[in-house]
Structure 1
Amino acid sequence: MISPLTVLQQRWHENWLVGMQPDRFQAIFYNRLQELNRLKDNYQSKILLCESNPEVFLASFMAACTLGYPIFLGDSNWKEAEWKEAIELIQPNLVWNVGVDLNLELLETISILDLPSISPSLTRIMIPTGGTSGKIRFAVHTWETLMASVRGFQEYFQVDRVNSCCLLPLYHVSGLMQFMRSFTTGGKLWILPKSKLESIEKMTEPNLKIDRWFISLVPTQLQRILNDEKQTNWLQQFDVVLLGGAPAWERLLEKARVHKIRLAPTYGMTETASQVVTLKPDDFLKGNQSCGQVLPHAHLETDSFSSDITLSSLITIQSKSLCLGYYSSETRLDRLSNSETLKSDDIGFLDDRGYLYIIGRCSDKIITGGENVFPAEVEAAIRGTGLVADICAIGIPDDDWGEAVVAVCVPKTDRISEVDLSTAISDKLSRYKQPKYWHFVSSLPRNERGKINRSQVARIARSGVKFLSRC
């Protein structure tokens, strides 16, 4: 198994990150090594990485992986409550979230050849994901599990070198795996901020027509690109446009076909180090409506194909890329081992040709703009304002976000407005978790045991959508 250090040595002087010179990456890397060397125990000291600058993030990530420090990936835009929750759970020895002062003198005093080679199986990488309660949770991966996903991707697409254009956050599994595929296979990585995408005609590199290029999007991003002619023309140049993070709506998929976008819808999750099922672009353009076929490093089980969706089942996943488990304050990171299977909350079936169809999910999870939102967390934040007597957060279909978070609530007084509630939770939840619609009712439907009837609340929200106030 190739180690982080081996990859670094192979690519040390290459200009693999579009728009960044190798000496800058090296300088950041060595500065991070200096900070890590002040820590005494690689296996107990924990690093929380929340850098917003892509160069600093990647150099920091590789420094921690190279020396075998447990590293937790986080969002630099967390709100105060989320920061507090993460710090209490992790209790990090070092937090990286304020950039780095480059010390070029270190380049002359430290050699990459002098670094110790750490076994890939000992490198613990904690990637954030949500739990049913909405609390921050980390899936525990290793360099090995991430590389298993890389190899499965290479084999499935029959490509040795992966060139990736990244528009997704690097702390997400979807963004991190784009880096892993490019960096470890000898490809280039082009990290593209939203501001650059909006002035697409000014972009001159890389030349997408020379090499095979991949790009990963969530449905909301695809929707916005297809609403702009110049961005649509630019997207048509990519050999494969991976689409994941949330179910895409049929109208969006049809629009992509009309524009001849080489879309590759995917199915996967943080726990599986991204996709384990992908539809190849040629199949998509021919009208195939599935998520695709299973990648070589994974195995899926559902009920046998049937036109009766009641015979479909929860999808069970076996994969070499499965995480080792979830981190807790009692977790011994050196004793975790891969779970044999993962039971998802998705309902679906495989047809007789091995194509996966997703019918729905059995949890209350809302997927909006590619982000997972759990109603319990939203409800707790709104209830904590003291402005509502009752609250239910629900997801409704949305042509821009896939699903939109709706707060159906009972205000304590008639004087309370949507603006009051939005303001009260603005510093308690990340922006994507905050309701996009507010709907006031006199009471919420509950059964004889007092449990909210969520399906009835969903009907109330959907039927009144045109009257809802959008934030």
Structure 2
Amino acid sequence: MSEQRPWLAHYPAGVPETIDVQLYTSVVAVIEEAFERFRHRPAFTNFGRELSYGDIDRLSAQFAAYLQNDLGLGKGDRIAIMLPNVLQYPIALFGALRAGLTVVNTNPMYTARELKHQLEDSGAAAIVVLDNFAATLQKVVAETEIKHVVTTGIGDMLGLAKGALINFVLKHVKKMVPDYHIDGAVRFRDALSRGGDGRFDRVELAHDDLAFLQYTGGTTGVAKGAMLSHGNMIANMLQASAWIGDQATPGEEVIITALPLYHIFSLTANGLVFMRLGGLNVLITNPRDMPGFVKELGKVHFTALTGVNTLFNGLLNTPGFGDLDFSRLHLTLGGGMAVQRAVAERWKKVTGCTLAEAYGLTETSPAVCINPLDLAEYNGSIGLPIPSTDVQIWSDEGERLPFNEVGELMVKGPQVMQGYWQRPQETAKVVEPSGWLHTGDIAKMDENGYVYIVDRKKDMILVSGFNVYPNEVEDVVMDHPGVAEVAAVGVPDEHSGEVVKLFVVKKDPNLTEEALKQFCHDELTGYKRPKFIEFRDELPKSNVGKILRRELRESQPAS
């Protein structure tokens, strides 16, 4: 056993080898337990407005009733939620799950093209969208299966006077809400009113039923919906909870939620695991406003914080952060991208709390490995496989490699997705018949079971924890009439880990960098847009004509 799973001998005290997935029938059972157990405790806070577990119970029940009774939506129907971290998000999320729907988390920063693809692919029948992004939806909604649109403003759940003021300032002073018109759209607060007393029909949910379609590029190409079942999500919640163990006190934790809840890391870790613990989620709507973020941190005695390397680095470089009260902070978890040693060491020095690195994938709900939370200092590893999780390092021939040998990181466990939505061939490429998932990451494991990421097999670019797939960027750029050939690669960046760089062969000799960047600005979400463009006479190719991205990456000067 120890030879096969050496990590078990190095588990923190009290962490079990396995979890009991049968503990809950569905994610709904988990959240309803939290509603009852912590009814009078605060659950979510945003812009100074606090909602208790009882409030979230009542409001999400009203939303569930609206979805079922007014819209006629039933078990398995898909609903897209296109919201940043605002109070409407947990209400819509838990309401949709209680109504038996499958949630399609949708990045509010999507361009019209990206949004159309996700709505078409998922077959979503309804969408909840923030006013700030509704103009994008307006452009494509008629070309999708969306029948019901619910719109909301950032201030809508913050009380009448304060909410109205915030909405007015955002639209008329800061000009952050473009004009839009969508026929038949219903306001979020009106939807809650129509939900009346919150009486909805209980939906029988089982482990195999889909809770989320969580879109990702997978290993190549266009975004695909990872089918995350109720069983997958319960498993990962229980795995993460077991790992946290007595490092967290039920009903006492205050977790800073700056990563968007539509991102799988934040969704599971903050939105679900800490909810099960009766924690208070402090929702940060715009963490890019670092001075504003630090100001919010100064208002709460926070105990836990999750984020990506760029977030921690940004905070450390923001005036005032070092003066905050870190006396209650005892858990900092970094995921989504590699945590840099310099950032981790500085974080420990400033806050007194070790920055523990974790590793996961959208396809694994997401957690696979986590470092012990009582780790004395940063160790450069992504940690140990969590309970009920098997990890192996495979050669290209599919053979298990010995300790410290470098190969592909393979994962097996109850948190591994059901597959990609309506893409059985894509699923077959990454999930072996035996259940092993190809991560596409190159790694090694030491004798103690600690896993170290060495490189990435796939050409994916990781910008601030978000996956950017070169194929998608290249496909968009090739639509420009002045482009003959293009390759997209990731180049190191001290702020976001990596940024996109394009290598372009011109078709039109007059094509400029500025013109191509503007084209990309119109077609791609911010993190996918190229920061650098280099024009070349030709691109390196293999003997079968495939552009050699690796050669382009290696041609870059070392940073």
**TM-score, reference length from structure 1:** 0.87
Alignment counterpart, residue 225 of structure 2, candidates 132, 135, 138: 138
- Choose which of 512, 518, 523 in structure 2 pairs with 1:428: 523
| Partner Cα separation in structure 1 for residue 461 and residue 301 of structure 2 | 37
Report if aligned partners of 1:149, 1:297 keep a CA contact under 8 Å in 2.
no
Pair 1:223-2:313 in alignment: yes
Give me the whole-angstrom Cα distance separating, in 2, the residues matched to 1:339 and 1:166: 36
Deviation digits for residues 77-127 of structure 1 (CA, Å, limit 9, x no counterpart): 210111111122122221221224425984994246x64153342353211
User: In structure 2, do the counterparts of structure 1 residues 233 and 328 end up closer, same or farther at CA, with 3 Å as the change threshold?
Assistant: farther
Give distance in 1, aligned partners of 2:223 and 2:372. Answer: 33
Correspondent of 2:204 among 94, 118, 121: 118
Deviation of 1:381 (Å) = 0.8
Q: Note if 1:151 corresponds to 2:234.
A: no
Q: Partner of 2:453 in structure 1?
A: 358
How far apart are the structure 2 equivalents of 1:129 and 1:460? 29
The one-character-per-residue Cα deviations of 1:422-461 (angstroms, maximum 9, x if unpaired) are: 1112221111111111111121112332222222211333
After superposition, what is the alpha-carbon deviation per residue over 1:181-233, rounded to whole angstroms, capped at 9, x for unaligned? 1222222111123267514246554323xxxx221111111111121252245
Whether the 8 Å contact between 2:59 and 2:198 is mirrored in structure 1 is no
Instruction: State whether residues 491 and 501 of structure 2, in contact with CA within 8 Å, keep that contact through their aligned partners in structure 1.
Output: yes
1:297–1:55 CA distance, 2 compared to 1 (3 A): farther
Q: Match for residue 419 of structure 2? A: 325
Task: Give 1:75's aligned amino acid.
Answer: N
Q: Which moved more, 1:364-373 or 1:423-432?
A: 423-432
- The alpha carbon displacement at 1:249 in A equals 3.2
Q: Assess, with a 3 A threshold, how the Cα gap between structure 1 residues 145 and 449 changes in structure 2: closer, same or farther.
A: closer
The verdict on how the C-alpha distance between 1:236 and 1:346 changes in structure 2, with shifts beyond 3 A counting, is farther
Q: Does 1:88 align with 2:174?
A: no
Distance 1:54 1:297 in 2: 34
What's the CA shift string for 1:153-198, capped at 9, x where partnerless? 2221223535421111111101211110122222211112326751
The C-alpha deviation readout for 1:339-369, integer Å capped at 9, x for no partner, is 8321211111221111111111211111111
Are residues 1:385 and 2:471 paired?
no
SS at match of 1:439: strand
Of 154-163 and 424-433, deviating more is 154-163
Q: Deviations over 1:384-420 (max 9, x none)?
A: 1112121110111221111111001122344222110
Q: Deviations over 1:42-71 (max 9, x none)?
A: 235321221235211211111111121122
Secondary structure of residue in 1 paired with 2:556:
helix
Call closer, same or farther: CA 1:242–1:380 in 2, change over 3 Å: same
The answer on 1:347 being equivalent to 2:373 is no
Stretch deviating more after TM superposition (421-430 or 338-347): 338-347
**C-alpha distance in 2, partners of 1:142/1:33?**
22
Query: What is the rounded CA distance, in whole Å, between the counterparts of 1:31 and 1:269 in structure 2?
Result: 30
CA distance in 2, matches of 1:117, 1:282: 40
2:381 maps to 290
Cα displacement (A) at 1:27: 3.8
Mark the CA change 1:57 to 1:155 in structure 2 (over 3 Å): closer, same or farther.
same
Q: Which residue of 2 aligns with 1:37?
A: 69
Give the whole-Å Cα distance in 2 for the aligned partners of 1:24 and 1:197.
Answer: 30
Match of 1:452 in 2: 547
The equivalent of 2:366 in structure 1 is 274
On the 8 A contact 1:406/1:461 being kept in 2, the answer is no
1:57 has 2:89 as partner: yes
Q: Residues 291 and 318 of structure 2 are in contact (CA less than 8 Å); yes or no, is this contact kept in structure 1? A: no
RMSD over aligned Cα, in angstroms?
2.8
> 2:371, 2:460 → 1: CA distance?
24
Q: Amino acid of the residue matched to residue 43 of structure 1?
A: K
Residue number in structure 2 paired with 1:17 = 44
Which of 142, 163, 167 is the matching residue for 2:258?
167
Q: Do the aligned partners of residues 284 and 372 (structure 1) sit closer, same or farther apart at CA in structure 2, a change above 3 Å counting?
A: farther
Alpha-carbon separation, structure 2, partners of 1:319 and 1:163: 30
User: Which one of the candidate residues 46, 71, 74 is aligned to 2:78?
Assistant: 46
3-state secondary structure, aligned to 1:325? coil
1:7 corresponds, among 19, 33, 50, to: 33
Query: What SS does structure 2 have at the residue aligned with 1:321?
Result: coil
Amino acid corresponding to residue 437 of structure 1 in structure 2 = F
Of 63-72 and 143-152, deviating more is: 143-152
The yes-or-no answer on 1:182 pairing with 2:277 is no
Mean Cα displacement is larger for which, 196-205 or 412-421?
Answer: 196-205
Aligned counterparts of 1:438 and 1:108: Cα–Cα separation in 2 = 51
User: Which of 119-128 and 388-397 deviates more?
Assistant: 119-128
Structure 1 residue 282: deviation in Å? Answer: 4.2
Q: Structure 2-normalised TM-score?
A: 0.74
CA distance, structure 2, for counterparts of residue 263 and residue 434 of structure 1: 30
Distance verdict in 2 for CA 1:152–1:329, change over 3 Å: closer
2:174 alignment counterpart: none
Give the 3-state SS of the residue equivalent to 2:320 in structure 1: helix
- Counterpart in 1 of 2:103? 71
Aligned residues: percent identity?
Answer: 21
> By how many angstroms is 1:370 displaced?
0.5
Equivalent residue letter for 1:305: F
Q: 1:385 to 1:186 in 2, by over 3 A?
A: same
SS at match of 1:359: strand
The DSSP-based 3-state class of the residue aligned with 1:420 is helix
Residues 171 and 30 of structure 1, relative CA distance in 2, 3 Å threshold: same
Unpaired runs of 5+ residues, structure 1, are 332-337, 466-471
Spell out, residue by residue over 1:20-49, the C-alpha distance to the aligned partner (whole angstroms, 9 max, x if none). 234864346514531332344623532122
Q: Residues 68 and 123 of structure 1 are in contact (CA less than 8 Å); yes or no, is this contact kept in structure 2?
A: no
Cα 1:75–1:365 shift into 2, 3 Å: same
CA separation in 2, counterparts of 1:172 and 1:132?
18
- Conservation of the 8 A alpha-carbon contact between 2:63 and 2:198: no
1: distance between equivalents of 2:39 and 2:59?
Answer: 12
SS in 1 for 2:216: strand
Distance 1:282 1:34, change over 3 A: closer
Compared with structure 1, are the counterparts of its residues 234 and 265 closer, same or farther at alpha carbon in structure 2 (3 Å cutoff)? farther
Residues 1:412 and 2:439 are matched in the alignment: no
Residue number in structure 2 paired with 1:375: 470
For the structure 1 residues 275 and 58, does the alpha-carbon distance in structure 2 shift closer, same or farther, using more than 3 Å as the test? same
Aligned 1:95-114 pairs, distance under 5 A: 95-97=127-129, 98-99=151-152, 100-103=187-190, 106=193, 109-111=196-198
- Cα distance in 2 for partners of 1:235, 1:454 equals 46
Corresponding residue for residue 4 of structure 2: none
